[in-house]
Amino acid sequence: MQYMLQFYSTPEEFAAREDPEGHKAFRASFVPYMKALQDAGIIVVGAGLQKPGTATSLRINRGGGHHVQDGPFADTKEQLAGFFIIDVPDMDTALKWAARYPGGPGGGVEVRPALTQADLEVLHKQLADA
């Protein structure tokens, strides 16, 4: 099963990564975490993201057309900082890896299963029957 680990960071964490000491500390814990995932052979894809301020969001208007604005889509304190899609047997295992995420307090990880081909087929069948 594929699961997406979405890492959320606080503004303080994003800010800390900007200064040399903070960046070093971040790398000292995050790089080994990434390597451990790699060595376990479970990473499908993943990326770290630039700070939320670099985002541009495109919102679809009800009446048609788009509204484009600077900044992340959701206006929350904690923002997406990076993600991995991992291939592990079950949610328990995915959560175990989430528990190893070396983020600071206030941040955290959202773990969500990906839709599988089987899920899509079930969905397709339900729609066809309806």
The SS3 of residue 81 is strand
Q: How far is the CB of 112 from other proteins (least distance, A)?
A: 11
Other CB atoms within 10 Å distance of the CB of residue 40: 12
Q: Does 28 bind other proteins (CB under 8 A)?
A: yes
CA distance 79 to 10: 7
Could you say whether residue 40 binds other proteins (CB under 8 A)? yes
Min dist CB 110 to other proteins, Å, is: 12
Query: What is the Cα–Cα distance from 16 to 123, expressed in whole angstroms?
Result: 44
Residue (9 or 52) nearer to other proteins, CB: 9
89 binds other proteins (CB under 8 A): no
- C-alpha to C-alpha distances, 64 to 59, 60, 67, 96, nearest whole angstrom: 10, 7, 10, 43
Using CB under 8 A, pick the residue from 21, 70, 75, 92 that binds other proteins.
92
Q: Return residues touching other proteins (CB under 8 A).
A: 28-29, 31-37, 39-40, 91-92, 95-96, 98-100, 102
